[in-house]
Amino acid sequence: MMRVILLGPPGSGKGTQAKLLSQRLGVPAISTGEMLRAAVSEGTPLGRQARAIMERGELVSDGVMTELVRERIQRPDASGGFILDGFPRTIQQAEFLAGIVGNAAPVAAVINFFVPEDVLEARLLGRSRVEGRSDDRAETARERIRVYREKTSPLVGYYRQRGLLTEVDGVGTIPEIAARVVGALPIVQGVA
């Protein structure tokens, strides 16, 4: 059972690394951002609620996010583990997650990507041009990074105190960063 959390600000490469690690381990990569963007594009009630919040660069409420994640990690494909990208973002969400997964199969590791803010902003603005993401405009990008730092700093300490956190340099090529991620998880070394 492999349960891994990837933390890092917007533009740090969590999504890319989650997909690579998912393929390597054979467990689903669960991206709350992708789930929210799908809800927005489908025009669901949750999507309409989330759209305005995301356009301001703010975080969607704990209540909305925890229910979204609870439903997703209880699906059969996640029974053997999962890679979480974008959740938890607060200590309250982390405690909720610990309550769901329980002691029998807790989160095995938490990887925190460190990327300088100028690199993050450049990545987000580049992604906006390539993917047409409205939530990656310059002002919104800066606000998303600021909100992330403000809300998530305590979460880094929370996982560090529990001995689960490993910091990974998120600057470099995708394969270089992927090698650092795998190297930071001794429990996955040797997995093809």
**Structural domains of the chain ordered from first start:** 2-183 (3.40.50.300)
**Torsion angle, CA of 80/82/87/88, rounded to 10 degrees?**
50
Whether residue 37 lies in the annotated active site: no
Token pair recorded at residue 91: 């200590």
**Mean pLDDT, rounded, of the chain:** 85
Whether residue 144 lies in the annotated active site: yes
Candidates 14, 72, 123, 180; catalytic one: 14
Most confident of 38-47, 58-67, 89-98: 89-98
State the pLDDT at residue 103: 64
The angle, 0 to 180 degrees and rounded to 10, between the axes of the packed helices 174-184 and 14-25 is 60
Candidates 19, 37, 127, 160; catalytic one: 127
State the pLDDT at residue 48: 83
Query: Tell me: the pLDDT tens digits for 121-171?
Result: 888 888 655 555 555 577 888 888 888 888 888 899 999 999 999 999 999
Choose among 76, 91, 72, 2: nearest CA to 34. 72
Whether residue 89 lies in the annotated active site: yes
Question: pLDDT at residue 118 above 60?
Answer: yes
The gap from C-alpha 98 to its chain's centroid, in whole angstroms, comes to 16
Candidates 37, 133, 137, 160; catalytic one: 133
Candidates 3, 51, 89, 180; catalytic one: 89
Q: What percent of the chain has pLDDT over 70?
A: 90
- Cα 25 to Cα 89: distance, rounded to the nearest angstrom: 23
Whether residue 127 lies in the annotated active site: yes
The pTM (predicted TM-score) of the whole model is 0.83
Candidates 51, 72, 123, 144; catalytic one: 144
- Cα 140 to Cα 121: distance, rounded to the nearest angstrom: 10
Query: Tell me: the pLDDT tens digits for 80-103?
Result: 899 999 899 889 999 999 888 876
Whether residue 133 lies in the annotated active site: yes
State the pLDDT at residue 190: 46
State the pLDDT at residue 110: 95
